[in-house]
Amino acid sequence: MLKRLSAREKFEQLIADFEPLLRNAFMESVADIKSNIQIKRIVERLERNDIPGAIEALYLDPAAFRPLDRAIAQAFEGGGVAAVSDMPTLREPNGAKFITRFDMRNYRAEAVLRERGSNLIGGIVEDIKVAARTTMETGLVEGRGPRSIALDLAGRINRVTGSREGGIIGLTSTQAGYVQSARDELISNDPERLKHYLTRNRRDKRFDATVRKTISTGKAIPVEMIDRMVTQQYANRLLLLRGETIARTETMGAYGASQMEAYQQLIDSGAISESVVQRVWHSTNDGRVRDTHRAMNGQTVGFRTPFLSPRGASLQFPGDPNAPASEIVNCRCRMSIKIDFLADLD
């Protein structure tokens, strides 16, 4: 006999299904941008100190993230269908079962999706431009050659796979700063700064022996090796982290938004009134959960009333994109929606 999944288990299964889809879509989009970068054009512009022209030559077109946009739509639809399947059985006045389905073509659902995709992808593209500009400006100030700077942006071609690896394209501007700081530490030859490099969680530990030897002997690490350690290995690992963070956060946001939309469609149908719908916040209650979300566990609100974090933030659902990043990034909480059939009898 098949085990009946709990609400938490169904939620975790849904997230597990869609997180890899979003992560792979993001990585596919970044790979597409890198594969179409024309290093020669960037070098020509950097030789003229034309940073805006060099950024333009990166072809950071939001359309490159179309795979991510489609993946978000799939997660949104999956969440809506799941929400409908979990709704209690409703009856028509004549006793017949009321049939409801999640409508992805609903004008409001389409508007929600357009806004989510546009805001996310627009933010990603603009942040990449900021990171690219900072990398170019820093490289020129340090006297790095235009070609070296261009490769720091786009990554270097792996001779085995033929694909570009590393580079700051796809990283947040903050992560690009980490890459630059790691490079500065390795180039410095300063024992204390080199020791700090060894504390970086995303470094490639296969090079640790080389760094320790430099600390003990003072012999500089070759620039070519630093390029491999930082702009390929370290940046690559940060990019994977970026993909995982986007996947978790956006899957959660799409799921919560689709739950709201599914019940709004039910309300619009006239089958129930908004006053009988309640939403409940459920924390994971483990050692990794935010203190604010642990405190919100069990918080129950009306259909349109936002959940309130102890820090003052308002959230319509876990992963609400309108809430501060500190409340939604990598959130693992879930929201349940219930119908209180006795509410209108008061």
- What share of the chain has pLDDT > 90, as a percent? 84
pLDDT of 340: 84
pLDDT of 3: 67
Tens digit of each residue's pLDDT (9 = 90 or more) over 324-344:
999 999 999 999 999 987 665
The 3-class SS string of 234-266 reads HHHHHHHHHHHHHHHHHHHHHHHHHHHHHHHHH
Q: What is the mean pLDDT of residues 124-135?
A: 96
Q: Where are the domains of the chain?
A: 7-272, 275-346
pLDDT of 222: 95
Dihedral sign of CA atoms 157, 237, 224, 34 in order: positive
pLDDT of 2: 54
Average per-residue pLDDT for the chain: 93
pLDDT of 342: 61
Please tell me the total number of residues recorded for the chain in this structure: 346
* Position 84 confidence tier, pLDDT thresholds 50, 70, 90: very high
